[in-house]
Every structure is written in structure tokens, then in C-alpha cells.
């Protein structure tokens, strides 16, 4: 069996869908379903079991698994409950790492580009302790992910025992189907699509930095299908371990993202720029772009979808349909 933690979430449910589509029905999901309709992310899937996170370690006793894909986390960059975030994102990850080590089970986990903080130290996925210790995440979520990266790097440096395969994935700005439960953490495209389709004005932030135009703040936007391909490649390539950026390697602007949505609908752009709230101006990132050389050198050759093609697929296959779920 394969265990996917966070399997009812955004990236997790897309991984589960891809596994099903590849003929794998021996999939166990560990997640909270809650009362906000997150179950719809799994409504088209075939599963062996859905395990609540609080019961996971007991459920694992005596089990034999092919691999653990650990995507479960409190992923909101605005989270403020430090104890809950550390218990969920760090301590549970450590328990799973220890279980996979003891039982010789491959372990693929979600890190985050949030570990890079404001980007002043660059976006190089160097997994050595000296390189990681230079990073200063700007929020609780990023720090919790960074702590776990450091814990694994420490074990690597000491030549401690680890799972037969371990891979941490620093996801950049992922967008695509099944992100709808994420509220304010949804991609701008998902949040604003109904306005785009209805012809209502779409608001983007003005720039408050000299030399950068309004709407030209840039992110490394990556379609969720590309992320899933990386995960499945790692499952099929157990010789590869390490910490890897998962982005396209090409930063694009928020304006580009929304213009691609208008183009996908054949609609005329209707964008206005509003002042960025003062409370976030000093900490706002104007640029993120992954360095993907390590992933490519490790042998990954699945490619990355262009922003325009990704938006066209997302709009045509999901957002502009009555059933938006994968």
C-alpha cells in the first residue's frame, strides 16, 4: 500500500488521483475531512482507508507500506498557533521519518519555498547544514518546514540511518484543481476567476518598489500536474534522495497570470491596481524563482508546463466547468 498524508488536500488529492489513474487503488489517505466539503477532493477516487491524523501512528503498527508520501500540514502562511503548527508540521513529520527509517520505507515529503524567507539568500536548494542555517523563514509555516529540513540535514551530516529513499520537495507557487477549500491561501487565479468570467474588475496590488511596475510582482507559478509528475518520478526512481526545489525555474508576474486567464476565455482584460495594505508592505516578496538544476541533474526530465498552457488547461478542464474537481 501507499500512504498519502494530506491526501484530501490540494496537492495530496491530485497525487491520489494520478495514482488511481495509473491503476493504483491500494492507496491510504491520512487527513481531516472537516465540514467544509473537502471530501469532494476525493469523491472520484478509490481508497483502501482514510485515517485521522491522531490515529496514524497506531494505524501504522505492524503495517507494511511501499512508500509514505507525506504532504499533510497546516499550510497557511498566516497561521499563528505555534504549538499546533509545530505538532502538526514538525513533530508528526519526525515520527513518520523515524517509522520509515525503522521499517525501511521510502519517505517523500513536502517542504516549501517559504523556507527561503524574503529571498535575500537566494533560492538554491542546497541541503547542507551550513546552507540551510543561513535561511530565515518569514512566517510560522515556513519555519516549521525549515526545522524539519534541518533535522534531516543533521542526520545526513552525522551519517545517521535514514529511510532507503528520502526526498524533500520545496514547492513554489502551486495552482490547479482541488485548491478550493484553501480560502485565502488559494491561488489568485482561483480566487478571482468568477470575476474574470463575469467581466467584473479584477484587483491586483500596486507596486510600492521603485523600478517594478504595478502587477509585475513575480512568482514561480507551477501547475499541480507538474508537481505530481515529480512525485511519481521519485516513487519510480528509488535511487534518488535529497532536497529539491519544485518550480518551473521561471518567474512570471501576477499580471501575466490574470492575462492568461482572460486569454483562455477569449475575454477583454479588466484589471485595476490597488494599494497594498501597509501591514504587509515591508515583508512582501516581489520575486521568487526556483533553481531546478539539482532536480534535473538527478535525472528528472518530465518538463514543466508554460504559464499560458497551464492556465488554459486549468480554466478549460476545471474552472469553467460545473464540476471543478479532479
- The SS3 of residue 197 is helix
Catalytic residue among 182, 206, 250, 312: 182
Q: How far apart are CA 114 and CA 247, in angstroms?
A: 13
Q: How far apart are CA 145 and CA 154, in angstroms?
A: 14
In sequence order, what DSSP letters do the residues of 264-292 get, joined into one string? HHT----EEEEPPPHHHHTT---B-----
Query: Residue 299 carries which DSSP code?
Result: T
Report the relative pairing of strands 271-274 and 221-223 from DSSP bridges.
Answer: unpaired
Does 44 qualify as catalytic in the annotation?
A: no
Catalytic residue among 109, 141, 314, 318: 141
Q: How far apart are CA 281 and CA 64, in angstroms?
A: 49
Does 64 qualify as catalytic in the annotation?
A: no
C-alpha cell at 175: 495552482
Active site residues: 141, 182
Amino acid at each position: 500500500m501507499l500512504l498519502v498524508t494530506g491526501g484530501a488536500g490540494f496537492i495530496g488529492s491530485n497525487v491520489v488521483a494520478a495514482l488511481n489513474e495509473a491503476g493504483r487503488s491500494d492507496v491510504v489517505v491520512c487527513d481531516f475531512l472537516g465540514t467544509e466539503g473537502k471530501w469532494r477532493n476525493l469523491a472520484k477516487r478509490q481508497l483502501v482507508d482514510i485515517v485521522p491524523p491522531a490515529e496514524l501512528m497506531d494505524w501504522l503498527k505492524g503495517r507494511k507500506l511501499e512508500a509514505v508520501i507525506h504532504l499533510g500540514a497546516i499550510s497557511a502562511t498566516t497561521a499563528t498557533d505555534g504549538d499546533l503548527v509545530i505538532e502538526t508540521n514538525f513533530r508528526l513529520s519526525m515520527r513518520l521519518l523515524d517509522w520509515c527509517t525503522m521499517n525501511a520505507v521510502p519517505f517523500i515529503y513536502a517542504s516549501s519555498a517559504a523556507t527561503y524567507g524574503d529571498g535575500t539568500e537566494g533560492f538554491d536548494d542546497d541541503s547542507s547544514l551550513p546552507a540551510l542555517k543561513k535561511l530565515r523563514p518569514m512566517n510560522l509555516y515556513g519555519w516549521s518546514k525549515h526545522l524539519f529540513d534541518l533535522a534531516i540535514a543533521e542526520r545526513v551530516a552525522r551519517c545517521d540511518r535514514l529511510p532507503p529513499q528520502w526526498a524533500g520537495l520545496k514547492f513554489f507557487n502551486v495552482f490547479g484543481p482541488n485548491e478550493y477549500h484553501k480560502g485565502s491561501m488559494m491561488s489568485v487565479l482561483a480566487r478571482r476567476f468568477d470575476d474574470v468570467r463575469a467581466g467584473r474588475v479584477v484587483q491586483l496590488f500596486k507596486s510600492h518598489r521603485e523600478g517594478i511596475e504595478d502587477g509585475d510582482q513575480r512568482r514561480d507559478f507551477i501547475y499541480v500536474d507538474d508537481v505530481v509528475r515529480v512525485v511519481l518520478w521519485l516513487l519510480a526512481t528509488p535511487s534518488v534522495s535529497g532536497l529539491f526545489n519544485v518550480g518551473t525555474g521561471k518567474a512570471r508576474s501576477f499580471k501575466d497570470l490574470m492575462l492568461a486567464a482572460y486569454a483562455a476565455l477569449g475575454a477583454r482584460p479588466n484589471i485595476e491596481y490597488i494599494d497594498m495594505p501597509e501591514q504587509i508592505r515591508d515583508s512582501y516578496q516581489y520575486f521568487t524563482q526556483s533553481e531546478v538544476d539539482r532536480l534535473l541533474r538527478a535525472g528528472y526530465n518530465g518538463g514543466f508546463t508554460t504559464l499560458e498552457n497551464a492556465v488554459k488547461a486549468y480554466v478549460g478542464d476545471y474552472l469553467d466547468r460545473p464540476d471543478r474537481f479532479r
